Amino acid sequence: MSHDNDFKRDLAEIAAHKLREGRITKRGFLQAMAALGVIPMAGLGGRAMAAPSELVIVNWGGTAADVIKEVLGDTYKEATGIDVVIDGSGPSAGRIRAMVESGAVVWDVCDSGPGSAIILGEAGVTEPMNYDIIDRTKMMEGTDWEYGAGNYVYSYVLAYNPKLSEGGVPTSWADVFDTKNFPGMRTFRKAVRGMLECATMAQGVPLAEVYDVLSTEDGIDAAIEQFRKIRENVIVWGSGSESQNLFLQEEVVMGNIWSTRAHLLKDEMDEGTFAVSFDGGVMSPGTWVVPKGNPAGAEEAMKFIAFAQDPALQVKWFELIGSAPINPAAAPLVPESMSRWNPTSPENVATQILYNDEWYAANQIAAEEKYVNALIN
């Protein structure tokens, strides 16, 4: 669950960057600060309470809140007459559970993640998705969970600086773990999520077999050993902004970062100093969940989720914030200049794997300890 929260808080940090460039409003920036706990949500008018004629959508604030309001909220009101109110205070699994168990539910739809969707669904505090209303064909395969529906995708990708790549351009994770032929500093996330997959692929394991291999103790240990071997050549990142700055300041030659940060870096660096490969990427979907007893009713929430499946709206979302469309029909609508940066273009999907939350639920605690000991301690 912290994996989902970390990423969505990172979107709030991106707001500060875009405010400085004049690409978002001050309102968007304030929402980001609220999501990070710098200012209270009360300073932005307090928590929204749903009336029968409105829907309350909750996310982690910042740029993403502005985008949901502009791309989905305003257009949904035009289509239905129903107001959409955005609450950027953060839909943590704990808060959703507490609301439902207390009977004081004030949210209708939450921008969550598959891990939280699975856990909350099993706890009986969220509604099952109504796939008579939500269209499974408008979602990437594997993102139609019983208690959650995929809403966008970001990826863990191989990013590199061609100018600093003395050994040539890295074309695979094997190159990233080869410090002899590809010298220089690398960067990987401080936390294990999204990292063991690339170390497993670096050993030549096919995409389809990665999580099968990692489901054995030997497979986990072999991936950990890849990091142990190169630890002297690694700078870890704890937030998206840290990974971005490592490339901007040319402190690293290559590494594993979020595609949303790559989306920003492509505008701040030129093709000679920044590039990305989606080969061996790990696609991580965002997920809509609906708390039980939501004020507007489960059916209204499902209708909103179905509306958000519109491919044209998802392309606008991608253009504004870098979160990729989850509807396969959106790919042809992405401008040609941005297609290669789109995690869900057919070409990029073909070379990536889908993040496996079930694997992390079973293995994360043990894998995290080994990873930190090998790479950081």
Q: What residue ranges do the domains of the chain occupy? A: 2-153+284-349, 155-283+353-375
pLDDT of residue 30: 46
Per the DSSP assignment, residues forming a β-bridge with 47 are: none
Q: Per-residue confidence at 17, pLDDT binned at 50, 70, 90?
A: low
Q: Per-residue confidence at 53, pLDDT binned at 50, 70, 90?
A: confident
Average pLDDT over residues 198-218: 98
Average pLDDT over residues 251-276: 96
On the question of a common fold for 2-153+284-349 and 155-283+353-375, the answer reads yes
Mean pLDDT for all residues in the chain:
90
What stretches of 109-266 adopt beta strand conformation (E)?
109-112, 144-145, 148-160, 186-189, 234-237, 254-258
pLDDT of residue 22: 66
Instruction: Name which of 183, 158, 137 is nearest 257 in CA terms.
Output: 158
Distance from first CA to last CA of the chain, Å, rounded? Answer: 24
Q: In this prediction, what percent of the chain has a pLDDT beyond 70? A: 87
Is there a contact between 166 and 254 (Cβ–Cβ < 8 Å)?
no
Q: Which of 11-20, 65-74, 364-373 has the lowest average pLDDT?
A: 11-20
pLDDT of residue 20: 58
pLDDT exceeds cutoff 60 at 42:
no
pLDDT of residue 66: 86
pLDDT exceeds cutoff 70 at 18:
no
Average pLDDT over residues 30-35: 45
Residue by residue, DSSP assigns 48-104 as ----TTEEEEE---HHHHHHIIIIIIHHHHHHHS-EEEEE-S---HHHHHHHHHHT-
pLDDT exceeds cutoff 80 at 209:
yes
Q: Per-residue confidence at 40, pLDDT binned at 50, 70, 90?
A: very low
What stretches of the chain adopt beta strand conformation (E)?
54-58, 83-87, 109-112, 144-145, 148-160, 186-189, 234-237, 254-258, 275-289, 353-354
CATH code of 155-283+353-375, in short, is: 3.40.190.10
pLDDT exceeds cutoff 60 at 345:
yes
What fold characterizes domain 2-153+284-349? D-Maltodextrin-Binding Protein; domain 2 (3.40.190)
